[in-house]
């Protein structure tokens, strides 16, 4: 049997008995997506299965800022054995803070303990965003042209004349 056939058979067998990926964390995103001055910015992470990002209540994730670079560090759990992957799948949202006007980059990182009790650090994503000024104050109303009493009476007279002509021609 040739090596090509052996590799093909092995690839087929591995494909047939492969298990789906249970551990996943999608790229994080911020809400609101276009923050304005005074908006509280939050980061959301969708994931689950064998990966769990802490709930933010037990261990609030530290948020550090150096200039316009903001880093939030989550502590979580990564389970390597599919037998113990029982964490729910969903979106977790955490407050980051409010920031003055400007351009920023939010670095979302997480860490977990591996089997040897050593910390494993991973970057989940870097999200650039701009905080723009607040909503401008409403402008004074602009008058729009409308019909006055004389214009309305001319319009109604014309409408009645056209209707009368149509009725007269149909009879």
Domain boundaries, given as residue ranges, for the chain: 18-131
- pLDDT at res. 112: 86
Q: What is the mean pLDDT of the chain?
A: 82
User: 138-167, pLDDT tens digit by residue?
Assistant: 777 877 777 778 877 888 888 888 888 888
% of the chain residues with pLDDT over 90: 25
* Bond into 32 cis (ω within 30): yes
- pLDDT at res. 40: 92
d(CA 12, CA 117): 36
- pLDDT at res. 21: 53
Question: Global pTM?
Answer: 0.63
Residue 16 binned pLDDT confidence (cut-offs 50, 70, 90): low
Partners of 161 in the β-ladder: none
- pLDDT at res. 146: 73
User: 24-63, pLDDT tens digit by residue?
Assistant: 788 999 999 889 888 899 999 888 888 878 766 667 888 9
Instruction: List the structure tokens of 46.
Output: 């969708």
Contact 51, 24 (CB under 8 A): yes
User: 100-137, pLDDT tens digit by residue?
Assistant: 999 999 999 988 888 888 888 989 999 999 998 866 66
Instruction: List the structure tokens of 9.
Output: 């058979």
d(CA 97, CA 79): 30
Instruction: List the structure tokens of 74.
Output: 């989550």
Angle, vertex CA 131, rays to CA 135 and CA 46, nearest 5: 110
d(CA 108, CA 44): 10
- pLDDT at res. 30: 93
Contact 47, 24 (CB under 8 A): yes
């Amino acid at each position: 049997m040739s090596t090509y056939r052996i590799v093909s058979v092995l690839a087929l067998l591995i494909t047939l008995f492969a298990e789906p990926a249970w551990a996943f964390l999608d790229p994080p995103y911020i809400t609101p997506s276009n923050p304005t001055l005074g908006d509280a910015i939050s980061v959301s992470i969708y994931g689950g299965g064998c990966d769990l990002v802490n709930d933010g209540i037990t261990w609030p994730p530290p948020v550090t800022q150096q200039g316009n670079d903001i880093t939030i560090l989550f502590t979580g759990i990564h389970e390597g054995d599919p037998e113990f992957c029982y964490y729910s799948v969903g979106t977790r949202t955490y407050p980051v803070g409010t920031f003055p006007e400007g351009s920023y980059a939010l670095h979302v990182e997480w860490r977990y303990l591996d089997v040897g009790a050593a910390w494993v650090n991973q970057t989940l994503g870097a999200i650039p965003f701009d905080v723009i000024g607040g909503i401008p104050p409403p402008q004074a109303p602009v008058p729009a042209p409308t019909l006055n009493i004389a214009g309305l009476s001319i319009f109604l007279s014309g409408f009645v004349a056209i209707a009368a002509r149509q009725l007269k021609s149909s009879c």
